Structure 1
């Protein structure tokens, strides 16, 4: 340990040394993030300067106006041209640039510059809205640890996280981010797990307990043994979910994007027809026709409509992330609101997944402690959850386990082992039901009706006792089901456990429909059946055996803290703190998002129709059309941001 302490200052020096290259990169990234806003403000400033010098330097004023056009509109024009060339389609960017150039062509330089300025400003605000709504999720990525202090022979060395291997021993000092998933070898501390579970209250951790990469160590130093390489850590999986969520487009947005191209072509066609036919049919002058055509091109553009969906959806995703609900994309968040039934797995989802011994009933002439000691000795070599629960109970009672020989698993029954020369067997009562005495059969029925899993203990081929275990339901399970019922959503439970046990647990949790004795394939069939009957179905699970059902459901929800890697990969939504009550919150959030999106769409269409009607009936000045149209875009963005609360 002395050698270790000698090398710590050097490691500290490396960790705390300033990095000029990183600072420059962060400054550059900050400027790039605000690039659109800077361009918009620059365009507006140049517009005011050109307007101020129009009377005494008209030629110079036009040059400044052209500069204002270039500063505010260059990026939009480039995006519009790329869409036209690559996708052979039109978008709002090209419509706005065309309207501004048209205004300039008939001498309305200031109106065209104002259009460019407000259009660029609304675009910058939309980018800001998206960035703000992503911040709570993207902040996770900034917590990704880059280095770790690894203990090696003769000292310590600061190494990249990517070099860590399972079994490496790390030192995490107070206030540092834990660099890898692992188990505490020594030390104790309060660890802030907000980046993983969404809960900001630190959790006390001691030796033997697991910790996650990306969580923040508190006041104590921790020695941690790595249990997962960096790419396999839960934190890395969260980052993958984040990236998927940011790139996934909801169904409504995909429809709007398809509609935008068609609508833009209609607007361009109508504008051309107006320019050609209005002087002939309505007797308008060329200047009046072109001016009204430019106003029409502005007010008919679908900017607000295009901005109706994504800011609201990203805000909702961000809202959920703060509460430990990670959505793999807007489409899954959108689908949650349509759900009519939520199907739960039992073990590890509605229940804690940690069975405990509740009853031990033995034949006359046998001591309960003696039977439990032999039972635990036989189970000690098994990794089955029930076996671990039996061994744990023996440890709680202070029993020393006996050496077991010839331990083997018996298919369809249980296990057997030779202890002190005698054969002991532990297994399912149903496998030897005809051999059970009457008292055993009666006791099995009683215990199973209470939701307990029963094992029969056999000594010298004679049943001598029954051991009952129960996996207690999660404290919030009943409340979670009750909250779903208030939302008009039914609940179901799909489990591989015996029907009697399933019904007892289901009744305790208040579940509406209970299905037991199901294999993974049976769960899939039941999910399909529920979808046919109710429409949209949410499936909630945690294990590998739940993965097929999660994939089959309309939306699959995985338990993030206790769930398997397969369940996390297949699921569409992850509950990072395993809080079942968040399911009702997620459905409510989805319904709010859909309601706001509908409000935005109706408002955007109404503004477009009103402005078009006003242009032809009364006549609207181009600046007023610009303000009305782009103002509606800003309003729908701000309406979507309400979901951040």
Structure 2
């Protein structure tokens, strides 16, 4: 394309149209500047967060604070963050309390209160308090570092339509040059034109047939869309994924941490006959305090909130795939899955049910069934071989889940939920959120199989997930979307886009923007082809003045770019 413009400018000058040649180069340069502006604007909107990357941290070493590079920080280090400073690493608050501005990561405009045990992220701004933070991620593994990698991938990724346009441009430019030479050599003999008319029309043809507007139809619009979404907390790894998103037929959500908050809470605590509720709460917290499992931590928090005192237990250990056990006053206590109530063979159960009367067992089974019908996860508490309590926990549905799904359905998109949870629990969450299809009791490979089946039946499928177990499905889907705050590193690595604020309502907005991009690109291409065809035909039929050809050609290029730039301010 540059070659065609230079040749056209030289040709215009050769026949005495110096001003038109200069105008051609000027307007061509202006259109190039607009494209560069779009690229820089997109890059700025995506990567402005990089400027918030702290370079040093105050690390506690032998009782003293030492300034070190953030790349020297290791997991477990204790660092000091003063008021008004950027937090240099991902971690949890060891001591202190403050409000933290997380706008650079999540897009939240209001600072979030943080206390001991709260999670903080590198690149966020500490408020008025002094914080001691225990580092949980190396500099290369922080959420901030993941954002930077996303930016680099977004800058290097070229959509399929643009790759095709580049190949087309190369072939088309050669055709235009050959056609121009053919006009100069053949027109006098075939059409009877004189030399001046032939050369003039050939130069006009060279100008108006150049594919500048056509080539500029795609990337400015695509980059504007990427920039638009970045400001709303949605980062894409490249324009190709926006193209694919526009064709979305199905959006499949993981349940835990995606449609739900991913943090279970205790909803029911049933004490057996003859037992005080507070006593059992204290014992359950004493046992589960030794576990890092989310359900165990939820039980501990519930007991602490109720003011139940913990007791000293011994020989605490995890029962793989079932729960926890520990000794208290020489008696073994256990907390774990309630599925042992369904096992008749005592040898296959994690405990012996011989001492349970039929009535007692029926009572607990009835309670379990009632709680599970409400979509809750149920654990039993045992002293020796007797069940003495039952605990129900539930992962709350995200406040915006129902609205997000309704917005997708309004766009004609089918919504599915893929989960490893039980069917009853999955159906309750599905009813609360309004999804169209539910697939439960799934292993990671089962999720992959269902994604493949959905793609075969519906076409383009988007998968939204946050965990390591979602990574294969994210990679299998047409477009994988990861949760930026709650998502695992593996999920973010394989995802094609990331919700930096975990707001799943932005998925529908992003689909709207993606579809708008496709409409704008089609508008641009139709307009560009129409202008080129009209000017070429007019040049041969009636004749087009070179100044008019320059203005018509380069003006159409500028209009196409400006049309794409509309997305910078679009609110979807």
Normalising by structure 2, report the TM-score: 0.93
Secondary structure, aligned partner of 1:473? coil
1:597 aligned residue (521, 524, 531): 521
- Going from structure 1 to structure 2, the CA distance change for 1:155 and 1:378 (only over 3 Å counts) comes to closer
- Going from structure 1 to structure 2, the CA distance change for 1:184 and 1:303 (only over 3 Å counts) comes to same
Q: Is 1:573 matched with 2:497?
A: yes
Counterpart of 1:536 in structure 2 is 460
2:506 aligned residue (582, 586, 604): 582
- Going from structure 1 to structure 2, the CA distance change for 1:157 and 1:505 (only over 3 Å counts) comes to same
Q: Is 1:241 matched with 2:150?
A: yes
Aligned residue runs from structure 1 range 128-527, under 5 A: 128-153=37-62, 156-433=65-342, 434=344, 435=353, 437-527=361-451
**Structure 1 runs not aligned, ≥5 long:** 1-91
Q: Is the 8 A contact 1:199 1:323 kept in 2?
A: no
Q: Distance in 1 between matches of 2:83 and 2:331?
A: 54
**Structure 2 runs not aligned, ≥5 long:** 345-352
Shift of 1:563: 0.8
Q: When the two structures are aligned, how many residues end up with a matched partner?
A: 554
- Root-mean-square deviation over aligned CA pairs: 1.8
Shift of 1:275: 1.0
Q: Is 1:125 matched with 2:34?
A: yes
Shift of 1:472: 0.9
Secondary structure, aligned partner of 1:511? coil
1:550 aligned residue (454, 471, 474): 474
Deviations 1:236-274 (A, max 9, x none): 110110111111111211121121112112111211111
Shift of 1:152: 4.4
Q: Is the 8 A contact 2:252 2:464 kept in 1?
A: yes
Counterpart of 2:488 in structure 1 is 564
- Going from structure 1 to structure 2, the CA distance change for 1:429 and 1:229 (only over 3 Å counts) comes to closer
Q: Distance in 2 between matches of 1:432 and 1:149?
A: 53
Q: Distance in 1 between matches of 2:277 and 2:568?
A: 58
Q: Is the 8 A contact 1:149 1:156 kept in 2?
A: yes
Deviations 1:494-524 (A, max 9, x none): 1111111111111111111111111111111
Q: Distance in 2 between matches of 1:172 and 1:270?
A: 68
Secondary structure, aligned partner of 2:462? strand
Shift of 1:615: 1.1
Shift of 1:202: 2.3
Secondary structure, aligned partner of 2:125? coil
Q: Is 1:635 matched with 2:544?
A: no
Q: Is the 8 A contact 2:157 2:239 kept in 1?
A: yes
Shift of 1:207: 3.6
Q: Distance in 2 between matches of 1:622 and 1:325?
A: 46
- Going from structure 1 to structure 2, the CA distance change for 1:115 and 1:517 (only over 3 Å counts) comes to same
Higher relative contact order (CA 8 A, sep 6+): 2
Q: Which moved more, 1:158-167 or 1:116-125?
A: 158-167
Secondary structure, aligned partner of 1:340? strand
Q: Is the 8 A contact 1:412 1:431 kept in 2?
A: no
Q: Is the 8 A contact 1:413 1:431 kept in 2?
A: no
Counterpart of 1:64 in structure 2 is none
Shift of 1:362: 3.2
Secondary structure, aligned partner of 1:272? helix
Q: Distance in 2 between matches of 1:609 and 1:534?
A: 38
1:115 aligned residue (3, 15, 24): 24
Shift of 1:277: 0.9
Q: Distance in 2 between matches of 1:221 and 1:607?
A: 63
Q: Is the 8 A contact 1:133 1:641 kept in 2?
A: no
Shift of 1:279: 0.5
Secondary structure, aligned partner of 1:235? helix
Normalising by structure 1, report the TM-score: 0.83
Secondary structure, aligned partner of 2:327? strand
Q: Distance in 2 between matches of 1:373 and 1:339?
A: 50
Shift of 1:361: 2.2
